[in-house]
Structure 1
């Protein structure tokens, strides 16, 4: 028997007693083959450890059956959770997924330079990845389908939450509890003309306060580079004010976890002396009782994967999909002390 990497479609055809055309139809899930024959071909292909070449399977269609997924950092829960679902959904449709972790501009430049020359793909799927104007132009130059998950980059189809409405939902919850001094720990705006979640959440925060007749104090908005440590640092700064806030909204559950740790170190009781809310729906929010805006990350990922598959199949897709969010009330929010 030939070694597994030498097995060809002809070997499978001989073993199953069918033609090459029949093997091709079975392995490409094309119609026109009986159930018994289809099962026999698949059984022989598995026995011989036959591997379908992406180039060969896509030759007739002029496709590669590959999707490049670009993500900033796999260590962030939002990115990793979304990638897990996207990869699973695409793999179920026999699509190969190439993962590129491109946190820094140099890595993104390398991707845009090397991908066209080395490994063509049918589509590029970006997970919450901001691009500057030049990078967006180079993305367009790839001349492949593009889908954006967890954000928005014009003019490509995207799926995301309404960050402005989500922020209003979080702040309105705190207002209803009776808080008036509400602060926000957010992240530095990405150097991008194409990313909006940071600005939209800040806008929603400001709008909710204004609707309640409250002014959004500049010093109550702390901007720091993303990370759990940013939550610690941001809360530390807010606690030093002569009149500290009674409630804080953090940009993410991970940052809220850092803020919660700082409150514990400072001997501040949650929620009696400080309420805390955040965004994501991370499992740690439930574990630590943090009130969170659940972004339904899995749902966003499934929609993004389906958009990608439909575009590859030359089907039309909606230009934008906004996924609903849920306010999940935990033990970290309550009425302020009077």
Structure 2
């Protein structure tokens, strides 16, 4: 298998959520794992935004710890994406013999054409070390025993973060729906106005709750089609935010779109989310303005993106 194809497959199939949970559990009684668990959350966020070089650098300390082979596979995949095959091979050869000989790294050994005899250590020693450090081959690392070996778990990072954020916003959506119902009740008392607006409200109104559900399910194209309509009264900010979010996921959002939203709704409850997307877009475009944008996000204490923005600025 081509090395880049292998790297892409690893990044899409490795159970990052389970790996994060494994680190969190270890951190409950080991302070060193508590620190790397926090760092791993930053790594997955960087990965989700395509910052492979930064993510590859940050995972290095983790690769020197007693962790499941899945973390080493992730480290190799990130290094391939960041610096190519030669750099990844150097990282692979820096691993301990126990890691190199582990069955979960068989495809990487084959990709690098790495002969076990080059290790210079007896195979039995490596296997004994594997038994102490890694889970048995019959049980995938960090995946429960009754789950298939090839289980695909979606990445944590922005998707997971947005899912969490969307849950927080459900109350706001419900409130907007109630306000809209009150406004509609009020409009029904004005016959002339209601007859004029009836055609639009029956066919072109964005169903915000349905859009939110589709976004949570990562069905961005379906959500995009629903967002072609008009926002209900009182839901303009929310609909505008979901338009930006969906465009971001489909690669259709520009920096100017984020700026326009912030100008239109400077006090929006989605301000931190939009600023984060704007800052990342600026960074990808090599626009130095990203530092000012992410600094603003980092100062928004209590928001999900504040600590992650600080981490990106410290690179």
Q: Calculate the TM-score normalised by the size of structure 1.
A: 0.28
Structure with the higher fraction of residues in strand conformation: 1
Structure with the higher fraction of residues in helix conformation: 2
